[in-house]
Structure 1
Amino acid sequence: MNPVREVFGGFGVLLRGLGIVLRRPRLFLLGALPALVTSLLFLAALITLAVNVTGLVAWATPFAEDWESAWRGLVRGALSLALLAGAVLVMVVAFTTVTLALGSPIYDKIAELVEEELGGAPQAPDEALLASVTRSARQSVGVVLVSLTVTVSAFLLGLVPVVGWMVAPVLTAVAGGWLLGIELTASAFDRRGLLRVRDRRHLMGARRWRVLGFAVPTYFLLAIPFVAVAVFPAATAGGTILARELLPEDPQGHQDPQNPPSPHQTPPGTPRGR
């Protein structure tokens, strides 16, 4: 498959998702609500931390009380900045996961409407609520931890002159977009009984350029404060469309979630031009 065509096709998936939710303004506004709530909660938490950071750092460093004021101020100032920077980093990385968790019923409804519009959606598997919540929480924590590891690694790599400056942003965008794709396709894959993250990775690997064409621009848009509020409903709809495109089809054109393609094979029934 042509990588350039696949990348543009992936971006087109995001635009298709936007078109679907814009045709339902009330659903679009409802889908934007969880992202707005998350943004306001994170902003309030950051302001609270900034107001109290001096006291927190002083409480955590009692050993510095007897130091000279210049050294004490320098160390505590550096720790305060590090604490605030770390908090911002965690918030950026966890934003998507927290928003999806808060708005789970809403985003499931958006995914369901996309499935109905496109047709051919199976019934959701019969999974106990507690088992579903536990599985989703475990997977979300895993994604956040991986995201933090990648982000910190990219930051450290960015300290390397020249090479690090070029490689770190690319690594952050690709890895962050890929992890975002794993989260945004979850609802459609879960509906088809593909409940494990490895199932999603396997199918995404077969069309990695298309996935990145969708996920990387979405990742950058969701990283812009409050722009994410408007992008989230479209990203959810786009993730559902993308998942359907990643699923293989039998010769009659029916999706077969029990027979996912090899990451090195084109899914059966996929036109060669895609």
Structure 2
Amino acid sequence: MSHVCIQPSHVAVVTGGASGIGLAACRAFAAQGLSVVVADVNAEGLARAVEEVAAASPRGRGAVRGVRCDVTLRHEMQILEAEARDAFGRIDILMANAAVQPGSDIMGPDGAWDRILDTNLYGVIRTVQAVLPGMIADGHPGLVIVTGSKQGITTPPGDPAYNVAKAGVKAFAEAVQHDLRNRPGCRISAHLLIPGFVFTPLTANGRTEKPAGAWTPEQTVDFMMRGLAQGDFYILCPDNEVTRAVDERRMLWAASDIVENQPPLSRWHPDYADRFAAFLRGPADGE
């Protein structure tokens, strides 16, 4: 079973489509007969990706268009929308997926903060603002998929700029879905993909072999497809290290920092280590 929008006559546009989760999504859409627009800033990687996606498509190269574009530039997102419509006449699925992770610290560097926020947050906003109005005007069912991160929900220490961007992406995706469901006659829905530990060029950190705890991009996209078919907004992916139950407890604890007036990020505070460990185990049998 698949979502009604995922069918051969339809068109998917994926930013950050030349590698990782984006490329896996492009291949999955192509394998189901969709026309696919692979969008990426990396021209060399884009050329390779287009051939991979075409090989996955029963319709071959004619069903795939590669568009080199930079999500930090609003006019290039408008060009992406125009080129997709010029190539295939319509857009049914938009996956705003492009992201970077160069690393950051509270005190900088400024370039890393600027690049992360401009790509991971404002890039998502620009992409949706460029493509969604035309999808709404078309009047047919559609999907907007935004790639978030668990780091935007539990905000662990270590890469604050990435966390800030992904927290913003979550809030933006929620706002988009609220807007869409309140538009009379609108048949487009938004969805937030929340990956677990996925082995991609973004997370490899010099490793060439997938860690045992990580999922592949293909596993993540398979899970995404099931979530879309079920109509889930929050597509919360497990991995080989963390179950959904553990993710839920971590997220509930993060919310309890506010509700219980605990120190921020108390999960990593030494005074709360034992309490968090007990909370993570859950209530004992019979309690």
Identify whether the pair has TM-score above 0.5, normalized to the shorter chain: no
Q: Which has the higher contact order (CA 8 A, sep 6+)?
A: 1
Higher strand share: 2
Larger radius of gyration: 1
Q: More helix per residue: 1 or 2?
A: 1
